[in-house]
Structure 1
């Protein structure tokens, strides 16, 4: 009888120990995943884009100490009720601590040439910035003129854009636009 009680007590303790160990392991896994996600976002959060109406330039800045790879920017403009398609341009790799500047007039000129129009827009917006971080993670930054939303994307997804936008087929909406790369003054943030 004493042996039976001891055996039951031992089984109960073993069961409780196993359950507690599994909970601790689960909590550690969740914490590890959170740290991994924060680490993954760190470089991506240092890559941004905007349109400066005063200078008439689109800028893409990589403030991290690592390159941003395969960088593409999407731009849209409008004139009154006319809204252009979303135009894309390849910026390619942006070195660390570098700003890429693109003249809005060059974008409009290239879009007009490709579409056969002569639009002089009254509104200009940066729509998307797609790039890969130094670990191969794919990111899309959204947010129109401020480039505020940052989304990790599955490159194999049918709809990798967070709002359901899909890239147009072919090269009809891809523009070859000159741009200049400028090292950031005063360095940049540690990544």
Structure 2
């Protein structure tokens, strides 16, 4: 009986071992049937596609970053070029005094101050065909406006040429309105600018040309006999 049981147990063990060996052989034969060259090609293609996708995404974002950097550099350069020009301004007080101000720490040169003065409700001179003229055109040139300073142009200083007499006369003691005001100047970098009532632009040829009407209503010529004296102004950029 003992020998029979032992033989049966050994038979079962051999059967299990044979099955395991068969499975192992089957697995080995399956791996042997794999086309490794083809599999390598497929893996290489997938890796190549992944690399292309990564490169494409990286290139796209790199280009976008470069665009942003270029745009920022251009904006910074434009801001720097306008830095001084933005500190040049003008305005008119209630007493009809014109202020032209340079709040930068450098002078501006070749300063043209242009404006039309209109004497409200009063004819200053008669033009052709006895047409009454109430407007005077001023174009004043200053070699420079010093840093941190302003020039004042008062109504009392303004003169106009009477076309009937040919003489230069003072504006009447009436309310005067100012139109078409602008200040043209050259900054420290040699750039030309025009400051008007509502904007600041770089000067372009022809940008300061405008018509004053026909010969019947053309404004009278105006002038300032004495150059105004520059006064210091506060606050001023770069001045401690």
Q: TM class by shorter-chain length?
A: 0.7 to 0.9
TM-score normalized with structure 2 length: 0.61
Unaligned stretches of 5+ residues in structure 2: 1-41, 122-132, 213-219
Residue deviations 1:104-151 (CA, integer Å, cap 9, x gap): 2332x1x325894755353232611111221223222222xxxxx232
Conserved 8 A contact 2:89-2:100: yes
Larger RCO: Structure 1 or Structure 2 (Cα < 8 Å, ≥ 6 residues apart)? 1
- Partner in structure 2 of residue 166 of structure 1: 210
Question: Which protein is bigger by CA-based radius of gyration?
Answer: 2
Quote the offset at 1:88 in angstroms.
1.1
Matches within 5 A, 1:1-191: 1-54=42-95, 56-80=96-120, 83-84=134-135, 86-107=137-158, 109=159, 111-112=160-161, 116=166, 120=172, 122-125=175-178, 127-143=181-197, 149-156=198-205, 158=206, 160=207, 166=210, 175=223, 177-184=225-232, 188-190=236-238
Unaligned stretches of 5+ residues in structure 1: 144-148
Quote the offset at 1:17 in angstroms.
1.2
TM-score normalized with structure 1 length: 0.75
Structure holding more helix per residue: 2
Conserved 8 A contact 2:149-2:231: yes
Between Structure 1 and Structure 2, how many residues are aligned? 175
Quote the offset at 1:74 in angstroms.
1.0
After superposition, the CA RMSD in angstroms is 3.0
